[in-house]
Chain A
Amino acid sequence: MAWSQTKTYKLCNSISTGELCSVMKDNGNGRFLSIPLDEENTDYQEYLAWVAEGNTAEAAD
């Protein structure tokens, strides 16, 4: 299915557990990051900072 994303970040659920497993970031130039929920990952740290500023990611499909 074609990927659809309207916000900078979109939540993604696991296909095995149905629980949140990662975050997709749209860099706006065709480039995307699939970011694991790992606090040592600097992309995830950047996402958490974005949320701390009051932003909300797009819900998972």
Chain B
Amino acid sequence: MSTLKVNTILSETPTVNITDGLNVTGVSTVATLNTTNIVNSTQLSNRNLIINGAMQVAQRGTSSTSTGYNSVDRFATSISGTDETPTQAQADVASGTTPYTLGFRKSFKITNGNQTGGAGTSDRVGIEYKIEAQDMANCGWNYLFSSSYITFSYWVKSSVAQNFYVRFKSSDSPSQAYAIETGSLSADTWTKITKTIPGNSNIVFNNDNGEGLSITWEIFRGTSQTGTRPLNAWAASDNATRTPNQTSTWYTTNDATFEITGVQLEVGSVATPFEHRSYADELKRCSRYYQKIAEGNQKAVAFAFNYNTQYGDWVLQYPMGPMRTSPSIDMVQGSDYYHYHGGSQTCNLDGAFIIEQQQNTQANIYFDPDASLTAGGTGYIKTHNASAYFAISAEL
């Protein structure tokens, strides 16, 4: 066998025919690829392990100053120690920007409050995303081996030019962590970040519905939770050293903003283009964790029957299908926020709906209206206030 080194191969015909196969090592650039078979370590569909990575679905609302899951589905804020709580929101991606041209219309945006007390050692502002352990165990990543990779990519924009850290944590014992950084971002400029992460023999992902991998954009974390932490390397998780010490410039800038979109985590060592999915597809995936049933005035909630003269009751079959586990009811209560109509009787309800005999497909819900009921009668519940809200949550 001989080795031929050339820079360019030209053909007098439109194609060069290689009949016995060709092995190419390294990343290759091909303008147009026509093939009848592709075998690749990166799967061609369902590559993205992130649900709602384009931030399309926001069942709970588009803006909130509450921490946790309160706007864009599957993405939560983790905030503590602030003087003024930052706002989380589903924001628009401006036309003309690169993410817009790539098909992104929404982002997850954090707008800082006024942190008049400065950067406290225990203060924090972050964005969290959690993946079920069974989805990591079954994704095809041979995570115990350092020669097997996942690749993480996303778009980020900050109003403050600085470096930010992102922390991966495998949750099952012994918990491991892997910190990466964005590098210094230019202010108000969308930047695509791509990181390839190897496996490690200490990682454990149980094949269950618990938390498997968490991803945290550490917008700011005080020095009681940061310190000596290697970058781009797995090491035992330690809440006292989640990332290297962080600059507080963003955190101490009133109304500073931080936005992400196009979040993708995929098996393999190469970042492929973002896997765009339809709104309906993303909503269905989100519904394993959250399902909104009613919001606003004069909205139907349920058909119920009178368990006895005091309580009404119904079987709630989760409308979008089975959930990760038995959900909590997420509701807004208030004086007469709901009505229970049955025959000639209409009762007021404040909205204390109580779950029992639950499973991940359905549950009994009971309520105690303001008036006595006729046992065995039936009726339906509807909202009676613009602030009324009824949903079910099985988030990680």
In contact, A34 and B329 (Cβ under 8 angstroms): yes
In contact, B363 and A36 (Cβ under 8 angstroms): yes
Task: Determine which of A1, A2, A41 lies in contact with B328 in the assembled complex, contact meaning CB atoms within 8 Å.
Answer: A41
Assuming the contacts A3-B333, A15-B307, asked whether A43 and B393 have C-beta atoms less than 8 A apart, the reply is yes
Scan residues 7-35 of chain A and give those whose CB is less than 8 A from a CB of chain B: 12, 14-16, 21-22, 24, 27, 29-35
> Chain A contacts of B311 at CB under 8 A?
15
> Chain B contacts of A36 at CB under 8 A?
326-328, 355-356, 358, 363
A20: min CB distance to chain B, Å = 10
> Chain A contacts of B394 at CB under 8 A?
41
Q: Is A53 interfacial (CB 8 A cutoff)?
A: no
In contact, A22 and B209 (Cβ under 8 angstroms): no
Task: Determine which of B328, B351, B358, B370 lies in contact with A43 in the assembled complex, contact meaning CB atoms within 8 Å.
Answer: B328
Assuming the contacts A1-B370, A15-B313, A22-B356, asked whether A33 and B387 have C-beta atoms less than 8 A apart, the reply is no
Q: Is B49 interfacial (CB 8 A cutoff)?
A: no
A11: min CB distance to chain B, Å = 11
> Chain B contacts of A21 at CB under 8 A?
354-357
Chain A interface residue count, CB cutoff 8 Å, equals 25
Q: Is A6 interfacial (CB 8 A cutoff)?
A: no
Assuming the contacts A29-B66, A36-B326, asked whether A15 and B333 have C-beta atoms less than 8 A apart, the reply is no
Query: B337-359 interface mask toward A, CB cutoff 8 Å, 1 = contact, 0 = none?
Result: 00000000000001111111110
B353: nearest chain-A partner, CB-CB: A34
> Chain B contacts of A24 at CB under 8 A?
352, 354
Alpha-carbon gap, A15 to B357, bound state (A): 11
Scan residues 300-326 of chain B and give those whose CB is less than 8 A from a CB of chain A: 307-308, 310-311, 313, 324-326
> Chain B contacts of A33 at CB under 8 A?
328-331, 393
A27: min CB distance to chain B, Å = 8
B324: nearest chain-A partner, CB-CB: A40
> Chain A contacts of B354 at CB under 8 A?
12, 21-22, 24, 34
Alpha-carbon gap, A14 to B357, bound state (A): 8
Alpha-carbon gap, A21 to B335, bound state (A): 24
Assuming the contacts A22-B355, A24-B354, A30-B387, asked whether A40 and B326 have C-beta atoms less than 8 A apart, the reply is yes
B159: min CB distance to chain A, Å = 28
Q: Is B366 interfacial (CB 8 A cutoff)?
A: yes
A53: min CB distance to chain B, Å = 16
Alpha-carbon gap, A59 to B148, bound state (A): 52
In contact, B352 and A38 (Cβ under 8 angstroms): no
Query: B355-387 interface mask toward A, CB cutoff 8 Å, 1 = contact, 0 = none?
Result: 111100001111011100000000000000001
Alpha-carbon gap, A14 to B326, bound state (A): 16
> Chain A contacts of B352 at CB under 8 A?
3, 24, 32, 34
In contact, B331 and A32 (Cβ under 8 angstroms): yes
Alpha-carbon gap, A3 to B307, bound state (A): 18
> Chain A contacts of B353 at CB under 8 A?
34
> Chain B contacts of A44 at CB under 8 A?
328
Pairs across A and B, CB under 8 Å, 29 listed: A2-B335, A2-B370, A3-B351, A14-B356, A16-B307, A21-B354, A21-B357, A22-B354, A22-B358, A24-B352, A27-B66, A29-B66, A30-B333, A31-B333, A32-B329, A32-B333, A32-B352, A33-B393, A34-B331, A34-B352, A35-B328, A36-B326, A36-B327, A36-B363, A38-B325, A40-B325, A41-B327, A42-B395, A42-B396
Given contacts A15-B356, A29-B66, 14 further A-B contacts (CB under 8 A): A3-B333, A3-B352, A3-B368, A14-B357, A21-B356, A22-B356, A31-B330, A31-B331, A32-B331, A32-B332, A32-B333, A34-B354, A40-B209, A40-B324
The 10 A-B pairs at the shortest CB distance, nearest first, are namely A3-B352, A21-B356, A40-B325, A34-B329, A38-B326, A36-B358, A36-B326, A43-B328, A34-B355, A33-B328
